[in-house]
Structure 1
Amino acid sequence: MTAMNRFLRSLTSLSSRPFSSLVSEAESRLHNLSLSKSTSRSSQPWRRDPSERNVQWVFLGCPGVGKGTYASRLSHLLAVPHIATGDLVREELANSGPLADELSSIVNQGQLVSDEIIFNLLSKRLENGEAKGESGFILDGFPRTIKQAEILEEVTDIDLVVNLKLRGDVLLEKCLGRRICSECGGNFNVATIDIKGENGRPGICMAPLLPPPHCVSKLITRSDDTEEVVQERLRVYNKMSQPVEEFYRSRGKLLEFDLPGGIPESWPKLLAALNLEDHDHKQSAAA
Structure 2
Amino acid sequence: MISLHDIKQARENISGIIHKTPIIQSGQLSGISGNNIFLKGEHLQKTGSFKIRGASNKVISAVRKGAGKVTAASSGNHGQAVAYISKELNVPATVVVPEDAALCKVDAISSYGAGIEKCGTTSAERIPKAMELAESEGGVFIPPYDDPLIMAGQGTAGLEIIEELEDIDAVIVPVGGGGLLSGILTAVKETNPAVKVYGAEPLLANDTFLSLQKQKITSIPSAPTIADGLRSSQPGDMTFPVLMKYLDDLILVNEDEIKQSFCFVLERLKQLIEPSSAVAVAAAMFGKIPLEGKKVAVVVSGGNVDLGRLSDLIPEKSR
TM-score by length of 2: 0.33
Structure whose alpha-carbon radius of gyration is higher: 1
